[in-house]
């Protein structure tokens, strides 16, 4: 009888034992730490960036920012969060209720999911290794944002919201294409470096990577231990002279420009600009649902900055990180992970500062300029960069790799100045073309006023044409 009872309860006992063994291990702890870090960073990052934006804009415009709430106004955004939590959540009467309620979650979910392939440090990442198709995953997550925007515009039952949602979707889809093409130059660099001693994929010639973590390793593997403790501590796993922004600066600029457009930030904030369509697809939202869109926008800023950090600025690499984490000590490993986390966050916020700087500097584009810039400027430039990178590699493949990298860097840095000149010419030409009809109509409506005849430096009396004084 006792044996029968034990046999019946054994599956439950085994299930409990398996559950405890799954919880009480380092992988589960790593998952908990990574999830809490990612979720907490996204939630607090929006609050920090709003305060930073107000302070930086005030500093750039020679005025004071928030002052009264908390010391130096540091609690102003905390008060804003409390205000949004207490605001009434108003629902539009004849809206598509399901789409109206779900769209903020659809817009916000990819922001959290994107950090699944962007480790914060060697330990603060999802267990199981980096996703090998990380860039494809990031592009797929950015596409889900478009669905949330369209759902918000359609579900609001408001013509301005619908038009704002469609314009935002067209903008995000258009700039997603050159953004993806900017990735190709980076992937080509990893394919060139793959197979070289010390780099990832050693022995697999021409096999690059589209995983952000692997791309970070390609940028920080150019150091060979010298036996000098100080130099090995600083440069092991940290070689800023091989970061990809040195060889593809033009692609960094184009990626960042597309990131501005993808996040609807100035000067690409037409869908929600006050002078355009009220608040765009967010017109009918209030309270926490509006705050989720707001949080998603600043979350997308951090994602764009994090991806740029991984692809062009070495990710979380910094002095001491690899050396400390390689010691096999729990204490020094913890210190190394804290350092990596600090380096990564500093890079993210430094790039977010550029977002704010651009908002304070550049005027808003017109709708036609916005679309022309994506299709007629960014697309040809990114395609030309891919062709030039391949051509340079074809011409220098029999030479040492450093020759290819040097020639590519020289061409790319020269292209940066050419790109700036091209943007200036295109902007001037499009502005003149857009203003020409209004100027011609104004000239036709106003009669020509004769130039006063000067007599000893004093204008003489000139008879005005009939009707000229009306």
pLDDT digits (tens, 9 = 90+) for 84-95: 888 888 888 888
pLDDT digits (tens, 9 = 90+) for 351-397: 999 999 998 888 888 888 888 899 999 999 999 999 999 999 999 98
Dist CA 395 CA 397 (whole Å)? 6
Phi-psi region of 25 (alpha: psi -120 to 50; beta: other; left: phi over 0): beta
In whole angstroms, what is the distance from residue 158 CA to residue 164 CA? 10
| Banded model confidence at residue 347, pLDDT cuts 50, 70, 90 | very high
The residue-averaged pLDDT of 296-324 equals 91
Helices 330-361 and 287-312, packing angle to 10 deg: 110
Q: Which distant-in-sequence residues (6+ apart) come within 8 Å of 467 by Cβ?
A: 447
Report domain extents, the chain.
Answer: 90-435
pTM of the model: 0.86
Q: Say yes or no to pLDDT of 41 above 50.
A: yes
Q: Which percentage of the chain shows pLDDT scores above 90?
A: 31
Predicted confidence at residue 144, as pLDDT, reads 86
- Exposure on the CB side of residue 280, measured as CA atoms within 13 A: 23
Among residues 343, 453, 296, which one has the least CA distance to residue 119? 343
Distances (CA, A) of 409 to 97, 188, 191, 238, 384: 53, 14, 16, 20, 15
């Amino acid at each position: 009888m006792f044996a029968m009872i034990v046999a019946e309860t054994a599956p439950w006992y085994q299930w409990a034992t398996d559950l405890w063994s799954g919880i009480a291990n380092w992988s589960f702890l790593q998952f908990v730490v990574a999830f809490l870090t990612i979720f907490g960073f996204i939630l607090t990052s929006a609050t920090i960036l709003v305060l930073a934006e107000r302070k930086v804009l005030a500093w750039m415009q020679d005025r004071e920012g928030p002052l009264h709430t908390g010391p130096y106004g540091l609690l102003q955004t905390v008060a804003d969060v409390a205000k949004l939590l207490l605001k009434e959540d108003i629902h539009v009467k004849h809206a598509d209720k399901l789409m109206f309620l779900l769209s903020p979650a659809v817009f916000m979910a990819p922001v959290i999911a994107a950090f699944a392939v962007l480790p914060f440090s060697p330990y603060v990442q999802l267990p199981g290794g980096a996703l090998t198709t990380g860039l494809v995953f990031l592009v797929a997550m950015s596409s889900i944002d478009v669905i949330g925007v369209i759902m918000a515009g359609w579900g609001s039952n408001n013509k301005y919201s619908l038009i704002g949602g469609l314009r935002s979707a067209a903008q995000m889809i258009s700039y997603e294409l050159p953004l993806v093409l900017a990735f190709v130059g980076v992937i080509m660099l990893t394919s060139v470096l793959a197979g070289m001693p010390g780099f990832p994929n050693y022995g697999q010639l021409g096999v690059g990577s589209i995983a952000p973590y692997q791309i970070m390793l390609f940028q920080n593997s150019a150091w060979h231990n010298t036996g000098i403790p100080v130099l090995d501590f600083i440069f092991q796993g940290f070689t800023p002279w091989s970061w990809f922004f040195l060889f593809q600066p033009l692609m960094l600029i184009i990626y960042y420009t597309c990131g501005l457009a993808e996040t609807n930030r100035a000067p690409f904030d037409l869908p929600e600009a006050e002078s355009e369509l009220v608040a765009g697809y967010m017109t009918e939202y209030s309270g926490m649902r509006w705050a989720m869109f707001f949080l998603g926008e600043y979350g997308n800023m951090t994602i764009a900055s994090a991806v740029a950090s991984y692809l062009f600025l070495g990710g979380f690499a910094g002095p001491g990180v690899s050396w400390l984490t390689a010691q096999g000590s729990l204490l020094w490993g913890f210190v190394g992970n804290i350092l990596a986390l600090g380096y990564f966050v500093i890079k993210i916020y430094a790039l977010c500062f550029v977002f704010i700087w651009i908002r304070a500097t550049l005027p808003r584009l017109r709708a036609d300029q916005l679309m022309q810039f994506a299709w007629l400027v960014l697309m040809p430039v990114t395609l030309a960069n891919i062709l030039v990178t391949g051509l340079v590699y074809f011409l220098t493949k029999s030479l040492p790799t450093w020759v290819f990298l040097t020639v590519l860097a020289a061409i790319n840095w020269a292209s940066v100045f050419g790109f700036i000149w091209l943007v200036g010419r295109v902007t001037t030409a499009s502005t003149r073309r857009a203003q020409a009809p209004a100027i011609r109509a104004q000239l036709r409506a106003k009669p020509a006023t004769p130039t006063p005849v000067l007599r000893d430096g004093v204008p003489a009396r000139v008879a005005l044409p009939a009707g000229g004084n009306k």
